[in-house]
Amino acid sequence: MNKLKILILCTGNSCRSQMAHGFLQSFDKDLYIRSAGTEATGKLNDKAVAVMQESGIDISHHTSDQVDQYLNDTWDYVITVCGDANEICPAFSGKVKHRLHIGFEDPSLVHGTDEFIMNEFRRTRDEIRNSFYQIYIEQIKPKSLFHEKTKKTNRFF
């Protein structure tokens, strides 16, 4: 497999990292994307699944994975999406080309009416979509195109 490999890391891997995974994959189906958590919950947050569905992206088939299963892999990018994961992110010593951190508030910690909570999930979803689209356009897509061009050029050698 010669695709650009991206790992999105969070604490619980049930909400923010899952949304980021869904958006990034929707921007480019040819990317190899996984998401994981330092303390993965084992299930997705139902509200995260619902607000992503509102955007036309189905993440209900995603799994909530422990980061341990990805520690020995080589990644082009590891992107952390919450403060906790950025502080306790496992050492990927030498197996990551680019490490980025973009912090988002955890909407699953919000209290209030159902309407208020869902609006916070939507706000976070929209922030994630906008931030990851910018990263995709400015950093990932150019490397992906270079990666694809190199792959085509190298097949003759």
- Residues with catalytic roles: 10, 82, 89
Query: Rounded to an integer, what distance in angstroms lies between the CA atom of residue 132 and that of residue 136?
Result: 6
Q: How far is CA 19 from the centre of its chain?
A: 7
CA distances, 93 to each of 49, 75, 77, 99 (Å): 33, 11, 13, 11
Query: Rounded to an integer, what distance in angstroms lies between the CA atom of residue 34 and that of residue 63?
Result: 9
| Structure tokens belonging to residue 84 | 């906790």
